[in-house]
């Protein structure tokens, strides 16, 4: 199994501050996202990913986010196997110090 590329919360914050166009996907449950998510992130709960493949483009890289980084890592393995470019935010929202909405 190919290793998943990662990004740290600090690196992500720097990229967002620099105005880079990023594709963020928060895979937490609705009640978790209600407590705050990164404003630029699209919310697709982990269980809905298999039925949401039409929302992803294999030419773009997606950064996946969850509470601690474990669920998003699992989503990354799943999508990478299907040929998508993915990156996991290690530490998840527990480590995020940037803005939330």
Q: Kindly report, residue by residue over 8-61, the tens digit of the pLDDT.
A: 999 999 999 999 999 999 999 999 999 999 999 999 999 999 999 999 999 999
- pLDDT band per the 50, 70, 90 thresholds, residue 1: confident
Sign of CA dihedral 55, 61, 66, 69: positive
Extents of the domains making up the chain: 5-45+54-95
pTM check: above 0.85: yes
Q: Catalytic residue numbers?
A: 66
Characterize the bridge pairing of strands 42-43 and 5-7. Answer: unpaired
Instruction: Give pLDDT tens digits for 56-95.
Output: 999 999 999 999 999 999 999 999 999 999 999 999 999 9
Instruction: Give pLDDT tens digits for 46-63.
Output: 999 999 999 999 999 999
Characterize the bridge pairing of strands 23-26 and 42-43. Answer: parallel
| Helical ranges in the chain per DSSP H | 9-17, 30-33, 70-81, 92-95
**Residues in a beta bridge with 65:** 26
According to CATH, the topology of domain 5-45+54-95 is: Oxidized Rhodanese; domain 1 (3.40.250)
């Amino acid at each position: 199994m190919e290793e998943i590329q990662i990004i740290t919360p600090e690196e992500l914050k720097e990229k967002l501050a620099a105005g880079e166009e990023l594709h963020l996907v928060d895979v937490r449950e609705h009640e978790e996202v209600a407590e705050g998510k990164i404003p630029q992130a699209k919310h697709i709960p982990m269980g809905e990913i298999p039925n949401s493949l039409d929302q992803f483009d294999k030419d773009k890289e997606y950064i996946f986010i969850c509470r601690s980084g474990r669920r998003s890592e699992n989503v990354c393995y799943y999508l990478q196997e299907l040929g998508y470019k993915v990156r996991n935010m290690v530490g998840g929202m527990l480590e995020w110090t940037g803005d939330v909405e």
